[in-house]
Amino acid sequence: MSVVLMYHALYHGEDTSRIDAEDLPYAVSASNFVAQLDKLKSKRVGLLKPHTDVLPDVVITFDDGHLSNFDIAMPLLAERGLSAYLFVTSDFVGKRAHFCHAEHLRTMANNGMEIGSHGQTHRFFDDLSDEEAECELRQSMNQLSDQCGQPIQSISYPGGRYNKRTLQISRSAGYGQLFGSDVGTISRADMSAAAPLKRVAIRRGTSLEEFDKMVNADTAYYAIQKSKHKAKTLVKRTLGNRLYHGLYKSISAR
């Protein structure tokens, strides 16, 4: 059984100036990140390798491609000999303020980090036509491969949104590992299942006590989180992606 942790941006001290307001709920301070890494000292932390019966205890992932993945996360991970997946929105590279440039991606790839796709534009895949989805998937794969100098074999879906056709198109485009945002742990059987791999989000307010429950796969904790996630998913479906995301941005900015 593995626990896949989902991070986004990191920041030093109280300085969140590099992070957009809507992204703050999922931004983690560098000091909290260090404390969380220290909690993993007794765990096997690594990437999910195909064709092996042994899964790591914990897998670390980052979404979006924020610059802090390069200048804060990578050095802290490298110090400990750890690797992570870095899912990057390809159109953000070298264009969005405080996000990675191509040279950052190449350096991280050369230092054992796996660069994966987070879409081309960060649009939600369940809002796209088949043609738009295929364009996003292939364009992102090609752009990121050129930028980091390595094949792109994995993807996490922006907002955890996708549909059955998205998964089929992703596989045909050449993505071997699909990651979602549904909450849960993963087993060896999940590696060959059709559904994206489950993850658990680390938030700005995640305490060390909660983190401990996450990485030790506490049954009661995950039952509660799955219920919360199910309720949130119902609200998303009721409001639709545009209204839900607008509401989320409005609340996050307060």
Integer CA distances (angstroms), 155 to 3, 24, 207, 230, 240, in order: 17, 23, 28, 22, 23
66-93 pLDDT per residue, tens = 999 999 999 999 999 999 999 999 999 9
CATH number for 67? 3.20.20.370
166-200 pLDDT per residue, tens = 999 999 999 999 999 999 999 999 998 999 999 99
What's the domain range around 187? 3-252
What would the two tokens of residue 145 be? Answer: 């491969």
Query: What phi and psi values does residue 88 have, to the nearest 5 degrees?
Result: -115, 135
Integer CA distances (angstroms), 226 to 9, 149, 167, 170, 223, in order: 24, 37, 22, 25, 5
Is residue 51 pLDDT above 50, yes or no?
yes
Q: Is the pTM of this model over 0.75?
A: yes
| Distant-in-sequence, close-in-space partners of 175: CB < 8 Å, separation ≥ 6 | 117, 137, 141, 152, 153, 154, 155
109-137 pLDDT per residue, tens = 999 999 999 999 999 999 999 999 999 99
Tell me how many domains the chain contains. 1
pLDDT score for 158: 97
